[in-house]
Amino acid sequence: MFFTRMTVLAAVSALALSACTSTDVQTSDPNQRTKEGAAVGAVIGGVLGALTGDDGGERRRGALAGAVVGGLVGAGVGYNLDQQAAELQRDLSDGRIQIINNGDHLIVRMPDDILFDIDSAAVKPGLRSDLAVLADSLQRYPDSTVQVVGHTDNTGGAAYNQDLSERRAASVSSILIGSGVPAGRINSFGLGENQPIGSNLTVEGRAQNRRVDISIRPNQ
């Protein structure tokens, strides 16, 4: 019986997690992630509650209580992500910055072409205001951790690209920290040319690969 319960829990959890993962930048419903979070939380909470009871009555009561608590927690996380994403979309001035809501975390994607000059790790003055907007958002939504990840295309040597990606991520992190975000919330690193999102065989693809991704993950 224990094995059966754990098997059901694992299957439902995996299904629920896959249902709330998406790379859509926007949806027609600005509260979509809130609803998905509530639904997923309710399902997982309900299953957990049902598996804790020893008889039919206890399992039903446990399922109901678990669904309510899980739904509230999931809705809260989803609501905050929806709100933060909408505010960033509204307040960031450079339209080339992407706000990607993946359901359980946000990615603020900044192309290197707007952040840095060629072969430079110094942030352009024009982007500092948008980084200040992002820093303000991170302070208004403090219950999250932040990863600042530098990426390059495959032009040049791999070792050089790795070093450049690390220096660029560090530059962005430094501005966020200087704008008031606690250093302990931020993890900065570079991946060089190792995680492309476009083809390095085309000019357009290489431009997509040169970027800094700022991942915002709610604390669980």
What are the backbone angles phi and psi of residue 174, rounded to the nearest 5°?
-60, -40
72 pLDDT tier (thresholds 50, 70, 90)? very low
Strands (DSSP E) along the chain, which ranges? 98-101, 106-111, 144-151, 186-190, 211-218
Q: In sequence order, which residues have a C-beta less than 8 Å from that of residue 111 and are 6 or more positions away?
A: 96, 97, 207, 208, 210, 211
DSSP letter (8 states) at residue 209: H
Against a cut of 0.95, is the pTM above it? Answer: no
pLDDT tens digit sequence for 91-132:
999 999 999 999 999 999 999 999 999 999 999 999 999 999
Residue 33 has pLDDT above 60, yes or no: no
9 pLDDT tier (thresholds 50, 70, 90)? very low
pLDDT tens digit sequence for 136-166:
999 999 999 999 999 999 999 999 999 999 9
Q: Which residue has the tokens 């948008």?
A: 130
Residue 168 has pLDDT above 80, yes or no: yes
Q: What dihedral angle (degrees, nearest 10) is formed by the CA atoms of 76, 36, 24, 155? A: 70
pLDDT of residue 135: 98
All domains of the chain, ordered by start, with CATH?
Answer: 32-76 (no CATH), 95-218 (3.30.1330.60)
CB neighbours of residue 56 within 10 Å = 9
pLDDT tens digit sequence for 17-26:
444 544 444 4
CB 151 within 8 A of CB 210: yes
